[in-house]
Amino acid sequence: MVGPRPGGPASASGDGGGLRLAAYALGGADGLTLGVASETHEPGNHTIAGVAVVLLSLLTAPRRGADSAVRDAALVRLLLGEGPAEAARSLDPGPWTVVHAQGGDGTPFAAAALAATLGTSLVETSDGTTVRLLLPASTAVVAQPDWTIGVSAPAEARDLALADTHAAQALRRALATRKPLVRHREPGPLTPKDARARLAPLADSPALVETLRTWLSLHGSWDRTAAAMDIHRNTVRQRIGRCETLLAADLDDVDVRMELWFALRQG
């Protein structure tokens, strides 16, 4: 069954009348949904529904003109490594949002189904793990079932390479903190209250706080931190690993490091 969808999540499911019921948003401006009813819940059902979502999204999408094809090609060139200046010439000025996502059901159709749900054909999956999408900044990106998503801040076409990096950082933060969706934010000074809340998991361990402070001040150097604190290099690694766990932070992310540095300076 395909019918109008006035609004709501990308998919929903439930049981009723002895049947397993599921609804999938097809994306696009018409707000269509695919409804599926089955007597049993088999692992392959979701995959089959994903294929149907992709095909129906293509069939019900507005006819795409030459401009859309050019934008698709520009995205692929941009995200496969061509300089942003060349790709941006083929794009509308924007603003745009870059999305990185991991998850789905592991089938080749998962990325296309996610793109259809978010209402874009601008999708790229070259590394086999991360799905990259480009959407107009006016598109509302919300958490999707079975996906972990990182979202960049709105960016002009000429700045998409940086937005791509920010989306990747947001995805790493989402994976590290086990959140379904994280949006990029520019690091900046925190209020004393925010700083205390951010560092609260380390409140009972002055040694961890001082090690983190020293390590960040020395740009993540294990050897220089060990020398500065007169402790073994392995001790530094163990303490920083403990900080990462307690703070649910990805310390490979430069934005996270800056956020924690600002928090420590407030403390």
Residuewise pLDDT in 10s, the chain (267 residues) = 444 333 344 566 777 777 777 776 665 545 677 777 777 666 566 656 655 665 555 445 554 444 554 455 445 555 445 455 555 555 666 788 999 999 877 665 788 888 888 888 777 776 678 888 888 888 888 889 889 999 998 988 778 888 888 898 889 888 877 889 988 876 666 678 888 888 999 999 999 999 999 999 999 999 999 999 999 999 999 999 999 888 877 788 777 888 888 889 876
Same structural domain for residues 177 and 147?
yes
Same structural domain for residues 82 and 152?
yes
| pTM passes above 0.85 | no
Same structural domain for residues 174 and 146?
yes
Distance CA 152, CA 133 (A): 11
| 197 located within any domain | yes
Same structural domain for residues 164 and 89?
yes
The pLDDT assigned to 230 comes to 95
| 2 located within any domain | no
Please report where in the chains the tokens 């205390």 appear, as a residue.
196
Same structural domain for residues 173 and 99?
yes
Same structural domain for residues 261 and 174?
no
Q: Which of 183, 208, 230 is the last residue of a domain?
A: 183
| 4 located within any domain | no
Name the β-bridge partners of 182.
150
Same structural domain for residues 197 and 262?
yes
Q: Which of 36, 60, 84 is the last residue of a domain?
A: 60
Q: Which domain holds residue 20?
A: 11-60
| 134 located within any domain | yes
Q: Are 89 and 158 spatial neighbours (Cβ–Cβ below 8 Å)?
A: no
Same structural domain for residues 204 and 171?
no
Q: Which of 140, 161, 183 is the last residue of a domain?
A: 183
Same structural domain for residues 83 and 167?
yes
**Residues 35-46: tens digit of each pLDDT:** 777 776 665 666
The pLDDT assigned to 267 comes to 62
| 1 located within any domain | no
**Residues 104-157: tens digit of each pLDDT:** 776 657 888 888 888 887 777 766 788 888 888 888 888 898 899 999 989 887
Same structural domain for residues 50 and 113?
no
| 3 located within any domain | no
Same structural domain for residues 72 and 169?
yes
Distance CA 181, CA 183 (A): 7
Total domain count, the chain: 3
**Which of 256, 254, 94, 255 is CA-nearest to residue 159?**
94
| 177 located within any domain | yes
Token output for 8: 């709501």
